[in-house]
A and B are shown apart, each in its own frame.
Chain A
Amino acid sequence: MSMHTMSLGQQSRLLGRYLLLMFIACIFIFPIVFMMMSSLKPDFQLLSDTASIRAFLPVGDISLDNYRAAFDRAPIGLFIFNSIFITATTLLLSLFLASVAAFSFVFIDWRGKSFVLAIVVATYILPFETVAVPLLLLVNKLPWLSSEGVTWGWLNSYQVQIIPWVVRALEIFLFVQYFKDLPKDLVEAARVDGASWFQIYYKIVMPLSGPVIATVAILKFLEMYNNQFIWPTMVVQEEGYRPIMVGLQYFFQLNTPWGEVMAYLTIITLPVLVFYLALQRAFIASIASTGVKG
């Protein structure tokens, strides 16, 4: 007897489920396919193709002209470097500081910690726009130590795009929730065995926190790489420090060159795909285990 025999009803239900999943996948994939195909077409064909299935197919007058033109119009390599540098630095600092803060909130006893945690989490309800202006005034007056000695004001720099974003309530909250579910006995066993708090942090707690690290990494990556527009526009006037989203402005002019926009978007999407594929397994595991949806 085969274990795989299925009744007709079971088979058709399974088929239905696959069809539904394929349909949903298509909804997510079509815009990306559209973007990539359009980046290969001249503007007049791109616009006329949108009316038909041709929008998703590499047909007609196909070339890399849009890419060439896009690179001529904007220093794309610089923008991508800036964004990746800002994103990576913020990501690493954020993972470290948010997890250390959460570790202290969960495992170490200190007076008033639940009050402090409540305040930290409460800041999450403030949209960034409400603090943008006070923050601008603040960073404009802060000192920075560089090769030229102490300078004042952070405008036109990397740090002004990094430091305000390093620790936000959401990351701390995610780590706190995850740490709370770790068995407390493990931490206590390590304490009795002689580990210091920092050793417990990096030898016990962090190695067991893969899923939440992946979640925070992805959320932070998306926040920093895809969504940095308003703040850089406010604090960066020099081209040398601009991130990709500000770079997009180079293409929106009187006559928007749609083909070039699509080429630019395709190029800046590549790092996202690479990052996502690298973390895919961990990310899926993390969604399954923490119930957080990005």
Chain B
Amino acid sequence: MAGLKLSGIRKSFGKVEVIKGIDLDIEDGEFVVFVGPSGCGKSTLLRLIAGLEDITAGELQIDGKVVNQVEPKERGIAMVFQSYAIFPHMSVRENMGFGLTIRRENKAQIKERVDEAARMLQMEDLLDRRPDQLSGGQRQRVAIGRAVVRSPDVFLFDEPLSNLDAALRMNTRMEISELHKRLGTTMIYVTHDQVEAMTLADKIVVLKDGEVQQYGPPMDLYHYPANRFVAEFIGSPPMNFLTAAVEQQADGQVFASADSIGRVSLPEFNFVKPATMHLGLRPQYISLGEGPDSHHRFEATVGVTERLGSETLINLKAKDGTKVTAVLPEDVELQADQTVIFNFDVNKLRVFAI
């Protein structure tokens, strides 16, 4: 059990800086997900925490102690690798007991703890197999089991699901979530999949080019993305962006004028200087028709319709040609090239600097 504190963490490989000053407080027992596009430094940050890479600058604390110079094995962490990193010359049981065997724990106790972890992960029948007799999903279990057996203070996962097929990925995702509930241990989880991030995390860290874009609970990031990057990255399909001139009226009210959707009031905004900005609108908040009076309305031409079963994605073209995606109910019927009225709640609009 341990919390973590990262202060001004930096990492350079040669002259290239890939982690550019990261501050994070991770509380004991939290499930934190690092998410971001490929190459943004997620794995590097995780490896810095694990002690597999040296920290170039800044301070890392685990459970209140500075561990910059502490060997990985002394940090109280266990790590699950993307490749699973199962030792091919050992049986599943030997793999899972490896950490304890290395520490010369007594044999009976090792057996007991391996059995217990295997029960928890429902893999008792795999214990005597060799790794080459396992499927991808089973290897994944062994890798998680090896971490569980050590009962670490912090679990680190580096894209543990990326080699599994879609169905297995969803199952395992839920199992990891359950594991967290049961153990209550701090977990740090790296992924580039925003669905995994949203479903697993107590808090999400969105990374881009080695910098934190935003850190907070999933729904905060969804509703109040700190910038356009986060807005685009979290939520699917991605948020719509409309260019608009934002200005303040004499009476203090703020309005945005966009060629695509006309003039909209921004009730949540106390604006100062007029500027061109981006309005962000999630596809889920657009509905068909006039809607309630408080809603803003706009006209658009219907493009391609994609039926996903539970919902329908419609690609729209606003008056000025801006492309807008809307998520509508499954039974919606719209003809291509038809011009239709849509509406949305102005309180759902987000405003971003360009």
Q: Closest approach, in angstroms, between the C-beta of B145 and any C-beta of chain A?
A: 12
Given the known inter-chain contacts A183-B83, A185-B81, A199-B102, please indicate yes or no for A192 contacting B73, CB distance below 8 A: yes
Q: Closest approach, in angstroms, between the C-beta of B99 and any C-beta of chain A?
A: 4
Q: Closest approach, in angstroms, between the C-beta of A112 and any C-beta of chain B?
A: 15
Q: Closest approach, in angstroms, between the C-beta of A115 and any C-beta of chain B?
A: 16
Given the known inter-chain contacts A185-B81, A186-B85, please indicate yes or no for A192 contacting B102, CB distance below 8 A: no
Contact residues in B for A186 (Cβ distance below 8 Å) = 85, 87
Whether a CB of chain B sits under 8 angstroms from the CB of A208 is yes
Indicate if the CB atoms of B52 and A194 lie closer than 8 Å. no
Indicate if the CB atoms of A185 and B89 lie closer than 8 Å. no
Given the known inter-chain contacts A185-B83, A186-B87, A189-B81, please indicate yes or no for A195 contacting B52, CB distance below 8 A: no
What is the chain A residue whose CB lies nearest that of B158? A185
Indicate if the CB atoms of B77 and A192 lie closer than 8 Å. yes
Whether a CB of chain A sits under 8 angstroms from the CB of B146 is yes
Contact of B73 among A183, A195, A207 (CB under 8 A): A195
Indicate if the CB atoms of A193 and B99 lie closer than 8 Å. yes
What is the chain A residue whose CB lies nearest that of B89? A207
Binary CB contact string for chain A from 177 to 211 against chain B (1 if under 8 A, 0 otherwise) = 00000010110111111110001000110011000
What is the chain B residue whose CB lies nearest that of A185? B85
Binary CB contact string for chain B from 90 to 117 against chain A (1 if under 8 A, 0 otherwise) = 0000000011001100000000000000
Given the known inter-chain contacts A183-B83, A183-B85, A208-B88, please indicate yes or no for A190 contacting B52, CB distance below 8 A: no
Indicate if the CB atoms of A191 and B85 lie closer than 8 Å. no
Contact of B103 among A194, A207, A208 (CB under 8 A): A194
Given the known inter-chain contacts A199-B102, A208-B88, please indicate yes or no for A191 contacting B83, CB distance below 8 A: no
Indicate if the CB atoms of B150 and A193 lie closer than 8 Å. yes
CA distance A195 to B90 in the complex (A): 15
Indicate if the CB atoms of B85 and A188 lie closer than 8 Å. yes
Binary CB contact string for chain B from 64 to 92 against chain A (1 if under 8 A, 0 otherwise) = 00000001110001110111010111000
Indicate if the CB atoms of A190 and B98 lie closer than 8 Å. yes
Q: Closest approach, in angstroms, between the C-beta of B269 and any C-beta of chain A?
A: 48
Contact of B99 among A183, A194, A204 (CB under 8 A): A194
Contact residues in B for A190 (Cβ distance below 8 Å) = 87, 98, 102
CA distance A193 to B82 in the complex (A): 16
Indicate if the CB atoms of B87 and A204 lie closer than 8 Å. yes
Binary CB contact string for chain A from 204 to 231 against chain B (1 if under 8 A, 0 otherwise) = 1001100000000000000000000000
Whether a CB of chain A sits under 8 angstroms from the CB of B50 is yes
Contact residues in B for A208 (Cβ distance below 8 Å) = 88-89
CA distance A207 to B50 in the complex (A): 25
Indicate if the CB atoms of A194 and B73 lie closer than 8 Å. yes
Contact residues in B for A195 (Cβ distance below 8 Å) = 73, 98, 102
What is the chain A residue whose CB lies nearest that of B77? A192
Q: Closest approach, in angstroms, between the C-beta of A107 and any C-beta of chain B?
A: 12
Contact residues in B for A188 (Cβ distance below 8 Å) = 50, 52, 79, 81, 85
Binary CB contact string for chain B from 136 to 154 against chain A (1 if under 8 A, 0 otherwise) = 0000000000100010000
CA distance A192 to B47 in the complex (A): 10
Contact of B52 among A192, A199, A203, A207 (CB under 8 A): A192
Q: Closest approach, in angstroms, between the C-beta of B247 and any C-beta of chain A?
A: 55
A residues 82-135 touching B (CB-CB < 8 Å) = none
Contact of A193 among B51, B52, B73, B83 (CB under 8 A): B73
Q: Closest approach, in angstroms, between the C-beta of A204 and any C-beta of chain B?
A: 6
What is the chain B residue whose CB lies nearest that of A109? B54
CA distance A193 to B146 in the complex (A): 9
CA distance A195 to B100 in the complex (A): 10
Q: Closest approach, in angstroms, between the C-beta of B97 and any C-beta of chain A?
A: 10
CA distance A194 to B73 in the complex (A): 4
What is the chain A residue whose CB lies nearest that of B52? A188
Contact residues in A for B98 (Cβ distance below 8 Å) = 190, 193, 195
Most interface-central of A189, A194, A207 (chain B CB within 10 A): A189
Q: Closest approach, in angstroms, between the C-beta of B65 and any C-beta of chain A?
A: 18
CA distance A80 to B294 in the complex (A): 102
Indicate if the CB atoms of B99 and A191 lie closer than 8 Å. no
Indicate if the CB atoms of B78 and A192 lie closer than 8 Å. yes
Indicate if the CB atoms of B79 and A189 lie closer than 8 Å. yes
Contact residues in B for A203 (Cβ distance below 8 Å) = 102
CA distance A194 to B51 in the complex (A): 12
CA distance A188 to B81 in the complex (A): 9
Q: Closest approach, in angstroms, between the C-beta of B169 and any C-beta of chain A?
A: 20
What is the chain B residue whose CB lies nearest that of A193? B99
CA distance A168 to B50 in the complex (A): 37
CA distance A188 to B103 in the complex (A): 17
Contact residues in A for B50 (Cβ distance below 8 Å) = 188, 192
Q: Closest approach, in angstroms, between the C-beta of B4 and any C-beta of chain A?
A: 16
Contact of A192 among B79, B83, B103 (CB under 8 A): B79
Given the known inter-chain contacts A204-B87, A207-B89, please indicate yes or no for A191 contacting B72, CB distance below 8 A: yes
Q: Closest approach, in angstroms, between the C-beta of A84 and any C-beta of chain B?
A: 30
What is the chain A residue whose CB lies nearest that of B150? A193
Q: Closest approach, in angstroms, between the C-beta of B350 and any C-beta of chain A?
A: 40
CA distance A186 to B79 in the complex (A): 11
Q: Closest approach, in angstroms, between the C-beta of A200 and any C-beta of chain B?
A: 10
Q: Closest approach, in angstroms, between the C-beta of A175 and any C-beta of chain B?
A: 18
What is the chain B residue whose CB lies nearest that of A186? B85
Contact residues in B for A204 (Cβ distance below 8 Å) = 87
Contact residues in B for A199 (Cβ distance below 8 Å) = 102
A-B residue pairs in contact (CB < 8 Å), sample of 11? A185-B81, A188-B79, A188-B85, A192-B52, A192-B78, A192-B79, A193-B102, A194-B73, A195-B102, A204-B87, A208-B88
**Given A191-B52, A195-B102, 11 new contacts (CB under 8 A):** A183-B85, A185-B83, A188-B52, A188-B79, A189-B146, A193-B102, A194-B73, A194-B99, A194-B103, A203-B102, A204-B87
Interface residues of A, Cβ cutoff 8 Å to B: 183, 185-186, 188-195, 199, 203-204, 207-208
Which 4 A-B pairs have CB atoms at the shortest separation, nearest pair first? A185-B85, A189-B85, A193-B99, A194-B73
